[in-house]
Every structure is written in structure tokens, then in C-alpha cells.
Amino acid sequence: MAILDTGTLNLPAHIASNMFEQVTEGSSVSVLSGQQPMKFGEHQSFTFSLGEAEFVGEGQQKSATDFESRTRTVKPYKAQITFRYNEEVKWASEDYQLSVLNDLSSQMAPKLARALDFGIFHGISPLQGTAFAGITEHLSQTTNSVTAGADKLADMDAAEALVVADGGIPNGLALDPGYAVGFRSLRDDQRRRIFPDFNMAVAPSNVDGFRASVNDTVGGGAVADTGISAFAGDFSKIYWGVQKNVGIHLIEYGDPDGQGDLQRNNQIALRAEVVYGWAIFDLNSFAKIVGDESGEG
């Protein structure tokens, strides 16, 4: 049986698991906040806050405990990539077809992961580089803002202070590469790195006791110049998950992407899709650092 059959492809286990891993671990949001189990579609998510306990003496009455609940609507967001390929690949050996799928999936999955960042950080559809109307709340909307200066540690202290002043407890940093490189270059009087465990990677490492992830999705990269250098905050306030696992579909007919009829152009199309769901429980739990290291916005 050919690997490339019309419809949803039954990916070999090693390809499917690798794609899912990259989609769920290849974004700064995902590595700093952690995925939550999630049902499909729009639904409500709740957080609860209890007041403090009390000591009660013998024979004394017990007081009511303060209780507060907050509700956030978790909405589904579908991200997709549609890629055209010469239809001759269908006539090749299964080994060759498998190598094509393996190569394409390794490129598609990170792009879908980046989409999660662009949505939660900026409310942007990454292909167009413009705001996506369906995303009404994103981290860049936080009013806690620090203008970047030459002293990056001072930037961090100011951002953390804003979050704490609003009742949050910062536990993570998402850094643009151009801004993050300044932390790598910080050295003491003996020319030793101040943060030797910090790496310029999406996978989190340590900056001054905080988990830090480096990704050009923070600033927008080539997609959109957002002017943001970093986000600091309590990343547990981002509730996100995969509502429908990533899948690849083979399309042989029609015009699935507005680039002309497939059959006329002797092409097939491969489409990878994933459905994320997320909600941000408290924008005040985050601060953004804007501008460059000279402090110019």
C-alpha cells in the first residue's frame, strides 16, 4: 500500500510522535507554561482563590473563608500549513515517500509551534504578519511595560517589580535573541560569565534564577516588528493545550490554497493542521520589555 494516499495520512509512529513533540515543545509558551489536557471546542476554565485559614479556640465560632472564582473562555484556534509538491513523488518508492514525509514534517511541526507563540504573545497570524481577528487577548496587551535600557538586570528588576505590584509572582522569561545575547555577554571582573547556565535556545535554561526561553517569536522576527524584547511573568497564568493533534492530509484535486488547480500544475498538496486552545487568566501577571538595549523604543 502506498504511503501517499488521498486523505488523512497514517503517519509512521516515529514521524507522528516527533511532529507532536515539536508542536508541543517547540514554542516558548509551551516550554514555560506547560500543556494542559483539553477538550475540543470553546469551553470555560475556572480558577479558584481561597482566603487564609484561621485558628479557632475551644468553644469559639468559626468564620467564613473568603472565596473567589474566575472564569475564562478557552477558544480553539486552528493553525495550518499547506505545501505543494510535484505529484511525481506518488510514483516513487515507499522509502522515498517516507523520506519526503519525514523531511517535510520536521519543517512543518516547528512552524506550527511558532504559531502558538505568535497567537499568545501578539495575536498575530504568522503567515500574514497581521492581527488575527479571532484572538482578542494576548500578552503584548499588558499595561505593565518597561523601556529597555543598557542595564538588562535593571530591566528585569523593573519588569518583575511591576508583576509583583499587581499581585503576581514571576517565574519565567521569554526573550528575543537580539536582547538575550546581552545576558550571555555579561561577565564579572574575572571575565567569567554571570549566567553560565543560560543558553540561546527555545528549551528553557537559567537566567538569574528564572526559567528563560529564547525565540524570535517574542519580537516578531521577520514576521512582524513588534518592538518587544522580552516578556516576564507568571507563565502558569497561560492555560493552553492541543485540542486536536497534528495531522497531515494529502490533497490531489482542486485549488486548496489559491495557487491554481493542482492537476493542471501536476502537483499535490500536503496540509498539516493542529488545533490549539488557550486562555490567559491574568494579563497583569506579565510585563513586557520594549525597545532595544540603548533604551530607544
CATH code for position 108: 3.90.1690
The reply to whether 255 falls in a domain is yes
Mean pLDDT of all residues in 224-245: 92
Dihedral angle over CA of 139, 143, 148, 151, nearest 10: -100
Question: Which pLDDT belongs to residue 125?
Answer: 95
Q: 139-184: per-residue pLDDT in tens?
A: 999 999 999 998 999 999 999 999 999 889 999 999 999 999 999 8
Question: Which pLDDT belongs to residue 83?
Answer: 84
- Residue of 247, 250, 245, 240 lying closest to 275 (CA atoms): 245
Question: Which pLDDT belongs to residue 295?
Answer: 38
Q: Assign 3-class secondary structure to 63-74.
A: CCCCEEEEEEEE
Number of structural domains, the chain?
Answer: 1
Question: Which pLDDT belongs to residue 90?
Answer: 75
β-bridge partners, 72 = 45
The reply to whether 160 falls in a domain is yes
- Cα angle 100, 104, 105; round to 5: 115
Mean pLDDT of all residues in 75-82: 91
Provide the residue range defining the domain that includes 193: 7-42+70-290
Question: Which pLDDT belongs to residue 9?
Answer: 62
Residue 287 clears pLDDT 80, i.e. is over it: yes
Question: Which pLDDT belongs to residue 244?
Answer: 83
Residue 20 clears pLDDT 70, i.e. is over it: no
Question: Which pLDDT belongs to residue 107?
Answer: 81
- Residue of 256, 259, 258 lying closest to 273 (CA atoms): 256
In which band, very low, low, confident or very high, does the pLDDT at 1 lie, cut at 50, 70 and 90? Answer: very low
The reply to whether 47 falls in a domain is no
The reply to whether 277 falls in a domain is yes
Locate 240 and state its grid cell.
Answer: 493552553
Question: Which pLDDT belongs to residue 250?
Answer: 84
The reply to whether 93 falls in a domain is yes
The reply to whether 223 falls in a domain is yes
Higher pLDDT pick, 28 / 267:
28
The reply to whether 65 falls in a domain is no
Which pairs from 262-267 meet CB under 8 Å and 24+ separation? 262/84, 262/87, 265/84, 266/86, 266/87, 266/88, 267/84, 267/85, 267/86, 267/87
The reply to whether 77 falls in a domain is yes
Question: Which pLDDT belongs to residue 139?
Answer: 97
Residue 211 clears pLDDT 60, i.e. is over it: yes
Locate 28 and state its grid cell.
Answer: 516558548
Mean pLDDT of all residues in 265-275: 88
